[in-house]
Amino acid sequence: MALRIGMIGTDGHVGTVLNGIPQIDGAALCAYAKGHPADSLDKVREHPAFTQDTSVYDDYRDMLEA
């Protein structure tokens, strides 16, 4: 069974969440959205939990709608 994870923003324990994803069998970061319009996604995209299949959104509402 797959565990599809969507994440919003970079506030809080982002490293803890992202670091845990590769350690869980069947887990994948499927979607990520900025928490604030001014947030940069560059640093977060460098994390190993991000793959070429991770969808990235500028607005969390668009992510949740998709």
CATH number of the domain within which 28 lies: 3.40.50.720
Dist CA 2 CA 42 (whole Å): 27
What are the percentages of helix, strand and coil residues in the chain, rounded to 5? 30, 25, 45
pLDDT, tens digit, 9 for 90 and up, residues 35-64? 887 777 777 788 889 998 999 998 889 999
Per the structure, the count of domains in the chain is 1
User: Which residue range(s) make up the domain with 52?
Assistant: 3-65
Note the pLDDT of residue 44.
77
The dihedrals phi and psi of 29, each to the nearest 5 degrees, come to -80, 100
At residue 1, does pLDDT exceed 70?
Answer: no
pTM for this predicted structure: 0.80
Task: Check residues 22 and 35 and name the one with the higher pLDDT.
Answer: 22
